[in-house]
A and B are shown apart, each in its own frame.
Chain A
């Protein structure tokens, strides 16, 4: 009963849209509902990344603590997004702090359990890697765009074209 319900929840999440039945069953078996209050951490920089999260509602900020500047928010993860790729990258440690900005409902997926299965289940590996690559590409592009600081006023102040 619980598995069935997790199956539905996962199938309804945008990250796992159009997931095959077989893969869905495996993923669902590793999932667990979690709730976080504002201010609560979903992950801490440097700690073991044994999970990733599907955000069903709420907002999570990815933060890095900078001496003298406090916690800088580098990006937020929104309802419908996936949080966490560190469980796929060897050494498996969280890179940023992840903290709930609003009340968060999420599905936590057991990365250790899925990691083991990836090696001998090409269909699962393909599904997960291709979905994560798409998300990472979006975020990388977004980060590169933001590096340009394109909305700030032009340096050349002789120009009157903003």
Chain B
């Protein structure tokens, strides 16, 4: 049990252990992610409202520090940078030398990671580790990362983590997990440890043990959160979507609405697609290859002697069926964690859960 007034003790301990602290910060009216130093830097007393194509943060004066959910940014930028150098090449007459870039990995603590995002980190790790286990830059970055999860207390209208089995509380994949209990009379956190390094940090905090009352209050937070989740998605129908409905007319109607902007792929915490970009110096002697985030909504994303997905409908189908269905064949699980970002940040307000239900002939979990 960590009283709120001692929260800085946790942050200080992590900083002393060499971690840069990254957590939620309120910027430009959005809950973003940034470097924080003290509990003071957290967005306090604010709540967020989510709806398809709609997002607002409002001050509600509530006593909690984590009474909101995820903003448009996910943590993936810290483990899978939007842009990274892969290698450099030097040319001297006929000879070319290659040098792989050694990515800078810093010890970083991610503070306030929601269950959905904890699951997303594990999913991306499996993708990047699939080809050559233990050799990915992602894995190397993750090894230097300390994850402090926070259980969601105020799920948004776009959340559906319960359908994907990834929340509202994280079961695994964190070093420390916190449940915030905040009211006008009391404010404290109940801690769970999820790893050896989590236990080492927890030991340094010399915490008061949680009482039965504390633990009950913590489980009530998650219990209430589960009940507050309005959206649902039929996971079995999702898995079968690609096989069952590759040519459902609904794809066309989605295609009419979708702007192919790629927002959903940028905000999605599991989308991993990338492309390689090459540059060369003006004297032609040095070149560099970089890896940058790509999106399956880009017209020339897939080629086979020409553009494979010319229609927007086919690009949305690619994105949605990959996320929900074919990820299973490729990586042995669903690619969706139910964070709802793709719904909130879609300028056309396309709702993946609604679209699935329309195609599967299933309304999903009852509201």
Contact = CB atoms under 8 A, between A and B. Distances in A.
Quick check: do A and B touch in the complex, using CB within 8 A? yes
A156 B305 CA distance: 8
B300 A161 contact: no
Interface in B276-320: 300, 303-307
A157 to B, nearest CB: 11
A4 interface: no
A156 B300 CA distance: 10
A154 interface: yes
Contacts of B304: 161
A21 interface: no
A133 B189 CA distance: 80
B278 to A, nearest CB: 12
Majority secondary structure, B binding face:
loop
A69 to B, nearest CB: 29
Nearest to B302: A161
B307 to A, nearest CB: 7
A130 interface: no
Contacts of A159: 300, 303, 305-306
A162 interface: yes
Interface residues of B, number: 6
Interface string B249-271: 00000000000000000000000
Contacts of B303: 159, 161
Interface in A143-162: 154-156, 158-159, 161-162
B210 to A, nearest CB: 59
Nearest to A150: B305
A162 B304 CA distance: 7
B300 A154 contact: no
Contacts of B305: 154, 159, 161-162
A161 B307 CA distance: 10
B294 to A, nearest CB: 15
A14 to B, nearest CB: 35
A117 B306 CA distance: 53
Contacts of A155: 306
Contacts of A162: 305
Interface in A114-162: 154-156, 158-159, 161-162
A158 B306 contact: no
Contacts of A158: 300
A159 B300 CA distance: 9
A155 B300 CA distance: 14
Contacts of B300: 158-159
A68 to B, nearest CB: 32
A158 B303 CA distance: 10
B202 to A, nearest CB: 53
Nearest to B308: A161
Nearest to A161: B303
B303 to A, nearest CB: 5
A155 B44 CA distance: 57
Nearest to B305: A154
Interface string B78-111: 0000000000000000000000000000000000
A161 B304 CA distance: 6
A139 B304 CA distance: 27
Interface string A25-69: 000000000000000000000000000000000000000000000
A153 to B, nearest CB: 9
B310 to A, nearest CB: 11
Interface in B52-77: none
Contacts of B306: 154-156, 159
A162 B305 CA distance: 5
A154 B306 CA distance: 7
A150 to B, nearest CB: 8
A155 B306 CA distance: 8
Interface in A87-117: none
A144 to B, nearest CB: 18
Nearest to A160: B303
A161 B306 CA distance: 8
Nearest to A162: B305
Interface centre among A155, A158, A159 (most CB of B within 10 A): A159
Given A161-B304, A161-B305, 4 more contacts: A156-B306, A159-B303, A159-B306, A161-B303
The 6 closest A-B pairs by CB, nearest first: A161-B303, A159-B303, A154-B305, A154-B306, A156-B306, A161-B305
Interface of B: 300, 303-307
14 contacts: A154-B305, A154-B306, A155-B306, A156-B306, A156-B307, A158-B300, A159-B300, A159-B303, A159-B305, A159-B306, A161-B303, A161-B304, A161-B305, A162-B305
